[in-house]
Structure 1
Amino acid sequence: MIGKLFLVPTPIGNLEDMTFRAIRILKEVDIILAEDTRTSAPMLKHFGIDKKAYSHHQHNEHQSTSEIIKFLKEGKNVALISDAGTPAISDPGYFLVREAIKNELEVECLPGATAFVPALVNSGLPSDSFVFEGFLPVKKGRQTRFRKLVEEDRTIVLYESPHRLLKTLEELGQYLGSNRQASVSRELTKLYEETVRGTLEEIKSYFENNILKGEFVICISGCEPKKAGKKNYD
């Protein structure tokens, strides 16, 4: 028997969003990997999961992955959790999943919490077709990414941190147009959850005068589809 790798979503704020299945899996597996054990410890304790978590984050994932693959081959079941939300969505997990698949090991991702889905649905922007960009590059490749988004006609979804929010809204306005419709959600599922809707300029103005706290999800409407010119076949 070989083990299985489980990717287990954890609440992004409200602990009531944890699923029964996620709790069961975390209690049953042999090893729990966490992005930050200091963050995950209170959550695990809250749900009665009396098990030590081991660190697996972007700075050690290449080193630890080979050891994890070894454990899986020995028949141990392993669960990966991130600080909040679904592992591998703008969090560590992709590299481990890829290596597990290369080694023909079984991988199972449980459905559960993630920030961009409620933010997108709550934005009021089209959600039938969208592009998720995660965090934009901080330096290298940032302007290139903005230029690519200019022609994107699907709803665009981004993650951003508090100290870069205003800069990102300013740059989005410069590239996409300050009148582009958008929404910004913060503190999702928490006590002070907030979604601000309007143009990029209006939203930027709002956050220049209000609290910048929590993780932010930005949703921006896509560009208007270009109308094909009439062809004269006479």
Structure 2
Amino acid sequence: MNVAVLGKVGAFKNSGCTVKATSTEHKFEWKPGPGSKPKFVSHMTSSLATIETTGGIKVTCQHMHDAGEVTGLKTSVIQLIFEGCQSSNLACTTPGQAAGVIATPVLPSRLIIIKKEATANKTKVGNDIGSVGGLFAEFECGPVNVVISGSWIWPVKTNAMFRELTYLFNESEGHQKGPEKGEGEPKDVLEASIAGGALERVGFAFSQVQVNEQKIEVNTVV
């Protein structure tokens, strides 16, 4: 990740660092992110958020938000919180939370290459949230315990500065529609165990807007 900074000497004339500067225009330069304002928050824009498995378990939540922080050039942390959650008229709750609240742990996240292209600015990048086999979320719907493990790869917009980003996830019936692994890496998806049973795929459906403290860019060229 990079942020553009105004300085006395730089290779670019504009704050987007896309136009090379002449000897009298060198005002901006890339600085490795995350900079002095690394935090971000998101709020749901869809009417509902759902968590659904291939086995037919469906949890519906009235609200969703997340918060996190960029911790390095390719790393960050994030926590997702769902509120007003229920399945079959039973509240779904993470232990220690208020009734109907599903909260993930603070999850590690890292930028990964989904597909490297010969032209650098066309390389596809993802944000890999969670870890292979690690706990992603745990909750109970009445007497039924649900444990979600693994990681979730979000596609990332690259080579442009953003302060706000819109995400849309539509993974009904547990079918993840995004990338399932990074280039040269093993398959890395979310799976759920219901009441201690065999693992089955799980997916999320909602839309949200992420707001960064400052404009930041995932750059595949510089």
Q: Does the alignment reach a TM-score above 0.5?
A: no
Compute the TM-score of the two structures, normalised by the length of structure 2: 0.20
TM, length-normalised to structure 1: 0.19
Compare the two structures and name the one with the higher strand fraction: 2
More helix by share: 1
Which protein shows a greater Rg? Answer: 1
